[in-house]
């Protein structure tokens, strides 16, 4: 079981950041690596069990299943159904936490997955840096004042 | 219910902040509201269920219990067991998370409780501002200080102070033995060094622990040394680095190392407590050690509660009287035992619901009769050898025998097998371990001063002896004729 963890401080209130990221179909809006995305079967993007089907800018296609969404906790969880990355049992959690004294937001993105041992370290590095850290840093830049 | 959630960013690696916060007793090091704190019953601070007992700067005392602690999640939670404010159903938790994009971490602190509506605003402000936000701010300063200290230049060791001093009188233990081995001699009382104060002593407490030291039962004092763990007086001079005391302050102490049987004494200033006005010097010298003993016996070693059935040996003795009166005000049913009818009257006057006179009947049988065969929850036994076995017989199932003295002789070797017949818990507390740091002394002394104010304990009126008559005072104490406490006046 491999684990990836990445977190950052977003210079905006948690409710403002949550409005953007809670939309499971919004990856093209706020990440630098997703070209286009749709929700399969035309379901609402906050229906548990909906599937987002998106294409990366490098051409790879990924299908992910929404497992949990909480406006109360400002978090959501999803698993990967199909991807070119070679991961199994991949479950990821995205969470926002208000930093109350400065009205900013702590954002954390974590994942656990299985992979063939010789590829595990490389995947942890590339998901951590190219997906999670890159996504969080784009979110940060979006709100930079 | 009120749910307060606050969080902040701290410019430190998460591991560094967690190392400080995971110590459940560590808040006394960094939180500005906390003045003294200890973990009850000497448990480890990461023992789930451990209780931290602390006093805030405003004088209020709070007991909080550790509910969970996770190093993996860098999180712990706790609840309030006792607090003067109505913070009902108070549960709080702390969690740290690393900010991987920076060398920082997120510190979340949550608290929920049920305030009475009329006090809701005040209590929310108190928890949010005075506890949580004040803690965040103080931690930033604390981390700067920690780092500053670790890279700071260490000062050179202090050279030994001048060896001269002032004249005084000490009572010396010439050898182990009877009261006659105590002898007065002239002595030079040295100048106070760094962190020390010299006290002009006005009253010195006489305790059974002094008798044990004199007999050689305890090896706290070697022949040639000076007995005594308790006194009151006035600070005469102070050495460097004693910010809390100045000449003229009224102080007292009750602690090791021994050396109190003297007209003047130079000792560590951080072991001193400031005396409240309502306590005279003689009363303080009679009360501090016995009162603090009763305090930790009733609150820390065992927990006496409303409805507890308690049996106190030597109920008319110094500690015995305080135990009986304080246990009674805590709501316990108190049975005492004394050696005479006159002492039994005294024991009744300090709160005993029933009194047994040793020698007239088997005290274990009497205790069973008073409790309709149930037995008591706690036995406080400082008699030792003569009473130990029967004290076990007095207990209800799952009862607690607190054996804290040996006036009749050392308890010696006892089989623990018999304890199983009643699932008995046995404690053998040692005063030193409850009073060996400034923090612990603060907690124990605050507790007795508070109990004095509320009337849970009464200021003692000790029998007075001259300092040079210390051996007569010891003979009196050992004769079992005395009631209450004895004090030596230099």
Residue A100, Cβ neighbours under 10 Å: how many?
Answer: 19
User: Which one is the CATH code of B293-433: 3.40.50.720, 3.40.605.10, 3.60.9.10, 2.40.50.140?
Assistant: 3.40.50.720
Residues 6+ apart with CB under 8 A from B1: B89, B112, B113, B114
Query: Is A88 near chain B, with CB under 8 Å?
Result: no
Q: Does domain B165-280+459-489 have CATH number 3.30.950.10?
A: no
Contact yes or no for B200/B234 (Cβ under 8 A) = yes
For residue A94, what are its two tokens?
A: 């995205």
Query: Is B305 near chain A, with CB under 8 Å?
Result: no
Low-confidence ranges of chain B (pLDDT < 70): 146-164, 482-484
Q: Which domains does chain A have, with CATH numbers?
A: 2-143 (3.30.530.20)
B7, B93, B104, B136: which to substitute to probe chain A, counting the most A Cβ within 10 Å?
Answer: B7
The 10s digit of each residue's pLDDT in B231-243 is 999 999 998 888 8
- State the pairing for strand pair A75-82/A88-99: antiparallel
DSSP B72: T
Q: Mean pLDDT across the stretch A15-21?
A: 95
Residues 6+ apart with CB under 8 A from B96: B14, B17, B18, B21, B74, B75, B105, B106, B107, B108
Secondary structure (3-state) at B141: helix
Which one, of B340, B341, B346, lies nearest residue B325 by Cα? B346
Which residues is B93 bridged to in the sheet?
A: B77, B110
- Write down the H helix ranges in B166-251: 208-215
The 10s digit of each residue's pLDDT in A37-58 is 999 999 999 999 999 999 999 9
- Which of A7, A104, A140 faces B97 most closely, judged by CB atoms? A7
Cα B484 from Cα B282, distance rounded (Å): 13
Contact yes or no for B419/B395 (Cβ under 8 A) = no
pLDDT at A145 (0 to 100): 58
Whether residues A97 and B108 touch (CB distance < 8 A) is answered with yes
User: Which one is the CATH code of B2-147: 3.40.50.720, 3.40.50.300, 3.90.1150.10, 3.30.530.20?
Assistant: 3.30.530.20
pLDDT at B163 (0 to 100): 46
Query: Is B101 near chain A, with CB under 8 Å?
Result: yes
Cα B434 from Cα B318, distance rounded (Å): 19
The 10s digit of each residue's pLDDT in B252-269 is 999 988 999 999 999 999
Q: Domain limits of chain B?
A: 2-147, 165-280+459-489, 293-433
DSSP B484: B
Of the two residues A26 and B407, the one the predictor is more confident about is: A26
B3, B9, B95: which to substitute to probe chain A, counting the most A Cβ within 10 Å?
Answer: B9
Cα B408 from Cα B211, distance rounded (Å): 11
pTM, 2 dp: 0.53
Whether residues A100 and B104 touch (CB distance < 8 A) is answered with no
Our CA-based measurement puts residue B108 at a distance from the nearest CA of chain A, in whole angstroms, of 8
With pLDDT > 70 as the criterion, what percentage of chain A qualifies? 99
Sign of CA dihedral B264, B268, B273, B277: positive
DSSP B361: B
DSSP B157: P
Cα A8 from Cα B101, distance rounded (Å): 5
The 10s digit of each residue's pLDDT in A71-82 is 999 999 999 999
Interface ipTM = 0.84
Helix or strand holding residue B325 (H, E) = helix B318-329
């Amino acid at each position: 079981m491999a684990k990836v963890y990445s977190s950052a401080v977003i210079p905006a209130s948690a409710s403002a950041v949550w409005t953007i990221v809670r939309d499971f179909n919004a990856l093209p809006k706020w990440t630098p690596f997703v070209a286009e995305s749709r929700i399969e079967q035309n379901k609402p993007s906050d229906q548990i069990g909906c599937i987002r089907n998106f294409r990366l800018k490098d051409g790879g296609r990924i299908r992910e299943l929404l497992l949990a969404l909480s406006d109360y906790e400002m978090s959501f969880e999803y698993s990967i159904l199909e991807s070119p990355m070679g991961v199994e049992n991949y479950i990821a959690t995205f969470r926002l936490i208000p930093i109350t004294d400065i009205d900013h937001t702590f954002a954390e993105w974590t994942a656990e997955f299985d992979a063939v041992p010789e590829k595990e370290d490389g995947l942890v590095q590339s998901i951590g840096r190219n997906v999670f850290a890159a996504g969080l840093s784009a979110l940060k830049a979006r709100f930079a004042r | 219910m009120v749910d307060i959630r606050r969080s902040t960013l701290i410019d430190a690696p998460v591991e560094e902040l967690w190392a400080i916060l995971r110590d459940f007793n560590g808040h006394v090091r960094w939180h500005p509201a906390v003045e003294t704190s200890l973990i009850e019953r000497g448990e480890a601070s990461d023992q789930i269920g451990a209780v931290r007992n602390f006093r805030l700067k405003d004088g209020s005392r709070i007991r909080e219990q550790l509910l969970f602690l996770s190093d993996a999640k860098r999180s712990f939670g706790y609840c309030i067991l006792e607090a003067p404010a109505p913070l009902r159903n108070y549960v709080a938790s702390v969690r740290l998370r690393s900010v991987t994009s920076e060398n920082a971490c997120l510190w979340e602190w949550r608290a929920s409780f049920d305030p009475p509506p009329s006090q809701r605003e005040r209590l929310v402000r108190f928890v949010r501002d005075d506890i949580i936000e004040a803690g965040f701010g103080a931690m930033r300063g604390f981390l700067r200080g920690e780092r500053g200290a670790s890279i700071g230049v260490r000062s050179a060791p202090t050279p030994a102070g001048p060896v001269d001093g002032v004249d005084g009188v000490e009572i010396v233990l010439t050898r182990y033995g009877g009261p006659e081995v105590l002898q007065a001699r002239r002595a030079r009382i040295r100048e106070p060094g760094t962190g020390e104060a010299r006290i002009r002593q006005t009253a010195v407490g006489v305790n059974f622990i002094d008798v044990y030291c004199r007999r050689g039962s305890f090896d706290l004092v070697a022949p040639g040394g000076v007995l005594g763990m308790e006194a009151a007086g006035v600070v005469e001079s102070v050495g460097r680095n004693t910010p809390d005391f100045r000449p003229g302050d009224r102080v007292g102490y009750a602690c090791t190392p021994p050396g109190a049987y003297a007209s003047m004494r130079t000792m560590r200033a951080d072991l001193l407590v400031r005396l409240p006005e309502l306590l005279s010097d003689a009363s303080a010298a009679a009360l501090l050690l016995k009162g603090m003993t009763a305090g930790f016996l009733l609150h820390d070693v065992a927990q006496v509660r409303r409805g507890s059935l308690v049996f106190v040996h030597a109920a008319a003795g110094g500690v015995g009287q305080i135990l009986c009166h304080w246990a009674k005000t805590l709501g316990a049913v108190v049975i005492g035992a004394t050696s005479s009818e006159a002492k039994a009257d005294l024991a009744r006057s300090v709160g005993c619901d029933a009194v047994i006179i040793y020698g007239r009947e088997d005290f274990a049988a009497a205790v069973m009769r008073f409790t309709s065969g149930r037995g008591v929850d706690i036995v406080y036994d400082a008699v030792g050898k003569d009473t130990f076995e029967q004290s076990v017989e007095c207990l209800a199932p799952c009862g607690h025998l607190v054996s804290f003295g040996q006036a009749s002789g050392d308890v010696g070797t006892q089989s623990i097998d018999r304890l199983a017949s009643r699932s008995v818990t046995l404690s053998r507390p040692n005063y030193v371990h409850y009073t060996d740091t400034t923090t612990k002394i603060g907690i124990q002394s605050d507790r007795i001063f508070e109990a004095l104010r509320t009337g849970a304990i009464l200021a003692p009126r000790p029998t007075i002896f001259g300092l040079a008559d210390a051996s007569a005072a010891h003979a009196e104490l050992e004769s079992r004729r005395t009631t209450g406490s004895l004090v030596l006046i230099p």
